[in-house]
Amino acid sequence: MKVPYAKVLCDGNEMKYLKEVIDSGWLTTASKAKELELKIKTMVGAKHAFAVNSCTSALHLALDAMGIKRGDKVLVPSLTFCATAEVICYLGAEPVLVDIDYQTRSMSADTIKTAIEKCPSAKAIILVHFAGQALNMEKIVPLCKKHNIRIIEDAAHALPAKDKEKMIGSIGDITCFSFYANKTMTSAEGGMVLTNDDNLAARIKQMRLHGIDRDVWDRFTSAGTGAKSAPAWMYDVVAPGYKYNMPDLNAAVGLAQLEKLYENRDGRERAVRFYDENLKDIKQINLPKLRVKYSDHAWHIYSIAIKSKTITRDQFIEKMTEAQIGTAVHYRPIHQLKYYKQKYKFNAKDYPETEKYWLGAVSLPLFASLKESELNYICKTIRTILNE
Ligand SMILES: *Cc1c(COP(=O)(O)O)cnc(C)c1O
């Protein structure tokens, strides 16, 4: 049997919506991107949403809108994808790394509190809802408020996810989603910035497209219909902005994917429940701790940690590969990456829980169409490799 790590499902209205865009004669940002913004902000309960070409762009726009500048310090977990840290460097600001809680693989209110005590001048924090499980926002929001630290949520794993009754996307100052090819829904490349703050929204809207004070759609429609408002050439630029808008070709795929968001999430939850049930008695692995309800978790990643005395993580993955089972590792910590380690002199000793998790980290196959026979094969293979 052969089981890949991930499988992208495009079995809905993708082709239909793509054809509509192509037939319209306008392939980039227009009504499909607007529709995706409206649907997602309504779903999560945010006032403003801006479709962009990646989550990395979204995070960059978020920091820019908050006025993060050269020399500012921004808190970020060491256990994340490099994109979360690199955007801080785009603005000349400094990433200050935060340790995780080994059991949930995420920062906790406690690890954040410790980090703030060490770095009270931090201006902002980028939270990562690792694997799709919401952080404890009821504790973290007041903690950051008290220290005047603004909150950006890197929710690349966390659509759809909830903390108690609130959906991720409606809580922090700004939330960023990813629609990259392997995320819980995709537009091939894409992302979205959400906020309830009118001032942040105005800045994000301008900087998304060259710092122009109106968007491409306005220009296109006014040019096409003979200038409803102002003529197309009468635009102004308020800052040297970016080119981060989402094309309608991408939004078309995103809209089709959004229709299956919950169906696919439910499929992944079914796989996760199988793993939990069938792996829980194996002493040499640590299973990801659930802080929220199964149904409130986006289940983007199922992360186990190998804690065997006889086999290393790398050897375990080698054996899984021999058995034709795909795996992944999330992530090599930021403090180990050459650029960051050299520039900021990060020391592994400052991130003991991140190091502990990294040594054993393995993500198991997780996608909605995983069959019970495949799940059985994966769990049996793990037992054989670990001799349990
Ligand atoms: C995928 C990912 C990103 C980057 O998303 P893009 O849309 O590819 O820019 C950022 N942060 C985390 C945690 C991710 O998993």
**pLDDT tens digits along 173-205:** 999 999 999 999 999 999 999 999 999 999 999
Q: How far is the CA of 149 from the centre of ligand 1 (A)?
A: 22
Q: Is the CB of 156 under 6 A from ligand 1?
A: yes
Give ∠ CA 152-204-121 in degrees, rounded to 5.
40
**pLDDT tens digits along 235-265:** 788 899 999 999 999 999 999 999 999 999 9
Q: How far is the CA of 176 from the centre of ligand 1 (A)?
A: 9
The tokens of 355 are what?
A: 């190091």
Q: How far is the CA of 204 from the centre of ligand 1 (A)?
A: 19
Nearest CA-CA partner of 308 in 380, 387, 375, 379: 387
Q: Are 161 and 137 in contact (CB under 8 A)?
A: no
Tally of CB atoms within 10 A around 323: 17
Q: What is the mean pLDDT of the chain?
A: 95
Report which ligand 1 atom has the smallest distance to the Cα of 180. Answer: 7
In terms of DSSP H, where are the helices of 234-337? 248-259, 261-279, 313-322
Residue 50 CA to residue 246 CA, distance in Å, equals: 9
Q: Is the CB of 363 under 6 A from ligand 1?
A: no
Q: How far is the CA of 154 from the centre of ligand 1 (A)?
A: 8
Q: Is the CB of 84 under 6 A from ligand 1?
A: yes
Q: Is the CB of 54 under 6 A from ligand 1?
A: yes
So what's the pLDDT on residue 378? 98
Q: Are 14 and 252 in contact (CB under 8 A)?
A: yes
**Which residues touch 140 (CB under 8 Å, ≥6 apart)?**
109, 112, 127, 151
Q: Is the CB of 195 under 6 A from ligand 1?
A: no
pLDDT band of 227, cuts 50, 70, 90: very low
So what's the pLDDT on residue 219? 56
So what's the pLDDT on residue 229? 59
So what's the pLDDT on residue 226? 47
The tokens of 255 are what?
A: 């809209």
